[in-house]
A and B are shown apart, each in its own frame.
Chain A
Amino acid sequence: MASSIVRTCMNIRANVVGVRGAALILNYVPRRNHNRYEMKYRREMYIRRLEVGPEKERRRSEWINWNYDCEIFAFGKRLSEDLSESVLRQAFVQSSYIEREKQKRKELGIDTDVMSFQLQDNGELAEKGSELLSSYIKVYLRNMYPYMFEEGVSSIHDYLVSEQMLSYIAKHIGCEDLVLSEDFPVKSSTLSQTFKAVVGAVLKDKGQERAECFVRDFVLPQLISKDINELWELINPMGLLSAVLALIGKGPPEPRLLWKSATNTIMSLYWVGIYSDKQLIGKSPGETVTIAEEMAAREALKKLMKTDDSRSPLILGRMADNLKLDYKRVNVSAEEVTRKHFSNEDRHNNTATS
């Protein structure tokens, strides 16, 4: 009996030893006291922190674990671009940093003519990068949405190259810590310029095709899950719709009330459909008849531009490797279409009255 108890105890012990980290369990001694001062100490520290305020924000480079050479190397590798180091370094130098450095040297009494200053700022790279960014985004969008109006394309382009968007991208590929500039925390304008300069660096080092691929991989995916029709602020959709319908040889748009509900309440609802040649080309709900009509016109335009919600997704990533783009393509301008249509109409009216 006794021997069996001993055996079971030994088994249990063997099991405990078998578990990983068992040494910790065996050496564990439960504490039989508790620190009565600890609560008071922590409360005091908390109060002091409130008095002093939050820690000052510092540049990442002020910490001990910082090596700018390594960071620059890793940046190039992270983007899987094999860029030369000198061009990459130049992309991060802001002009404000150079000015500050020069001033520092002057204060120290170093003659800048004797000790020449090797740094170049990223202004030139950013200019070239910005040019490529703009032109490629427009070309891509025109080819992806061939029926969209030029105004729509340029408003999507403006959204993509806005300071906010570019600084967001720059931050998330790791530019923020690497930027050499005077302002801290780094301004979004500085970040967006840095991103443009990185595009410029790829263009300078690897050529146009690789730079376009870079733009396609980092900037254009930001359109995913974004309503591209919302980006274009269209003031008179019905006017444009009638002009477009006349252009493609269809009858003028006729708005018709389809359904209505709760009309005398604040929750009123109207559905308006737009017909052309007795065909329903768009319908939409709204709080009033006017709103519903305008929204229905927008819906019809969306269908005509082939940018409705059921459109196929953008061609990006590996699928876009063999993409053939027509660089000279220019889409139809909405302004031109409406101007042409309404001047013709005026002429007809004048002849009719005379």
Chain B
Amino acid sequence: MATAAKKMIPEDFLKNVLQNGVGRYVCQLQRITFRFCKSHGGSRHMRDFIENHMLDFSQKHPGVVVYLQPRRNRPPSIVAEYLNGGREVLLMSGKEPGEICKWTEHLRTRSGIQIVKMINNIHTETPSTQGIWHPFMFRDTEWAVTKFPSKKASEVLKIGLTATDLVLEEQQGEPLIDSMNTCKIDDK
């Protein structure tokens, strides 16, 4: 996808209006209007839906107000109005009653927020038990009050015997193994 087109598509985080469902669930669809023509053939399936399925829907979901709006010689459509002020219109030309049922259900289960591309926060299934790393994580607090240049900080870390030491020791004829045993790695 081109970058310009990418910018045009709105994207948002997953939202929950009013923390819905934490306390009790409130259906976000507040009213739904079925618009149809009483005589035109185009509204045939919509009229069929109204006769056979609409009452079931309104009885099952008393929290949604259902309106019927006959309009002469116009294609059938569904208008859904949501609690957040959103309004959605779906054209139902050529849709059979079963399909209209499905679209109605789709509108009922929506939250009314515009459908956008989802983006999510950074997430991991295996969070660190130690906490997030930061530059001071294993740093000794002593360094905060040290004045630089300091003699202690400038010392060379002594890791063990150097080659020179070994040669010198050999010259002096001391037993090598003992001195190797005494040598320790200085962590600090």
Please list the residues of chain A having a beta carbon within 8 angstroms of any beta carbon in chain B.
21, 24, 64-65, 67, 70-71, 73-74, 77-80, 168-169, 171-174, 177, 216-218, 220-222, 224, 256-261, 271, 273, 316-317
B145 neighbours in A (Cβ, 8 Å): 257
Q: Is the CB of A221 within 8 A of B22?
A: yes
Stretch at the interface among B49-57, B133-141, B166-174, B179-187: B133-141
Most A-side CB within 10 Å, residue of B17, B33, B62 = B62
Q: Is the CB of B26 within 8 A of A79?
A: yes
Q: Is the CB of B94 within 8 A of A21?
A: yes
Stretch at the interface among B4-12, B64-72, B100-108, B154-162: B64-72
B176 neighbours in A (Cβ, 8 Å): none
Cβ 8 A contact of A173, one of B26, B135, B141: B26
- Bound-complex Cα distance A216 to B31 (A): 26
17 contacts between A and B (CB under 8 A): A64-B69, A67-B65, A70-B65, A71-B65, A74-B63, A74-B64, A78-B26, A80-B63, A172-B17, A174-B30, A177-B30, A218-B23, A221-B23, A256-B141, A257-B145, A316-B22, A317-B23
A64 neighbours in B (Cβ, 8 Å): 69
- Bound-complex Cα distance A256 to B69 (A): 73
Most B-side CB within 10 Å, residue of A67, A172, A273 = A172
- Bound-complex Cα distance A224 to B139 (A): 36
B67 neighbours in A (Cβ, 8 Å): 65, 67
- Bound-complex Cα distance A169 to B24 (A): 13
Q: Is the CB of A260 within 8 A of B144?
A: yes
A24 neighbours in B (Cβ, 8 Å): 94
- Bound-complex Cα distance A188 to B65 (A): 25
Q: Is the CB of B23 within 8 A of A65?
A: no
Q: Is the CB of B18 within 8 A of A78?
A: no
B18 neighbours in A (Cβ, 8 Å): 168-169, 172-173, 218, 221-222
Given contacts A169-B18, A172-B18, 4 further A-B contacts (CB under 8 A): A67-B67, A74-B30, A172-B17, A217-B22
Closest to B28 in A: A172
B114 at the interface (CB under 8 A from A): no
Give how many A-B residue pairs fall within 8 Å (CB-CB): 83
- Bound-complex Cα distance A258 to B19 (A): 40
Known A79-B26, A317-B23; judge A261-B65 contact (CB<8 A).
no
B37 at the interface (CB under 8 A from A): no
| Cβ distance A246 to chain B, nearest Cβ, rounded Å | 26
Known A172-B18, A172-B83; judge A258-B23 contact (CB<8 A).
no
Q: Is the CB of B141 within 8 A of A65?
A: no
A260 neighbours in B (Cβ, 8 Å): 144
Q: Is the CB of B83 within 8 A of A77?
A: no
Closest to B64 in A: A74
Known A70-B65, A271-B136; judge A317-B144 contact (CB<8 A).
no
Interface string of B36-80 (1 = CB under 8 A from A): 000000000000000000000000001111010100000000000
Q: Is the CB of B63 within 8 A of A78?
A: yes
Q: Is the CB of A258 within 8 A of B136?
A: yes
Known A71-B65, A174-B83, A258-B141; judge A316-B94 contact (CB<8 A).
no
Q: Is the CB of A259 within 8 A of B141?
A: yes
Closest to A78 in B: B63
Q: Is the CB of B19 within 8 A of A257?
A: no
- Bound-complex Cα distance A77 to B66 (A): 14
**Which 3 A-B residue pairs are closest in the complex by CB-CB distance?**
A217-B23, A78-B63, A221-B19
Cβ 8 A contact of A78, one of B19, B27, B84, B141: B27
Closest to B95 in A: A21
| Cβ distance A26 to chain B, nearest Cβ, rounded Å | 13
Cβ 8 A contact of A222, one of B19, B62, B141: B19
- Bound-complex Cα distance A67 to B62 (A): 14
| Cβ distance A215 to chain B, nearest Cβ, rounded Å | 9
Q: Is the CB of A65 within 8 A of B69?
A: yes
Known A78-B63, A224-B19; judge A259-B144 contact (CB<8 A).
yes
- Bound-complex Cα distance A22 to B155 (A): 86
| Cβ distance B45 to chain A, nearest Cβ, rounded Å | 12
Interface string of B117-138 (1 = CB under 8 A from A): 0000000000000000001100
